[in-house]
Amino acid sequence: MPKDNIEEQGSNEAFSEGDSQGQALTTRQKEILHLVAQGCTNREIGQRLAISVRTVEVHRFNLMRRLRVRNVAQLLRQAIVLKIIPKGPSLTKV
């Protein structure tokens, strides 16, 4: 089975028509999203979560595809709208 089909199949399993977009995110995707919101780079996220930079990139790509956005600004805005991350300056980079 080609790689693209595997990714599509995996995303369909976690995303049913009745679910809101925010509920369809995995725990790891939510972790990545919170770190992106704190301003962490892919390298910093990878170091904190003990995963490769490439794995972080794949998670970010899947997040953006799942939330139907094209850039980080839209990603963060959508995450706030869906109440995945809090609105305001409460997020700080540690």
Q: Quick one: residue 41, left, alpha or beta (phi over 0 = left, psi -120 to 50 = alpha)? A: beta
In a domain, 19, yes or no: no
CA distance 67 to 82: 10
In a domain, 12, yes or no: no
Residue range of the domain that includes 82: 24-86
Total domain count for the chain? 1
In a domain, 1, yes or no: no
pTM beyond 0.85, yes or no: no
pLDDT along the chain (94 residues), means of 10: 42 40 81 95 98 97 94 94 82 56
CATH number, domain at 79? 1.10.10.10
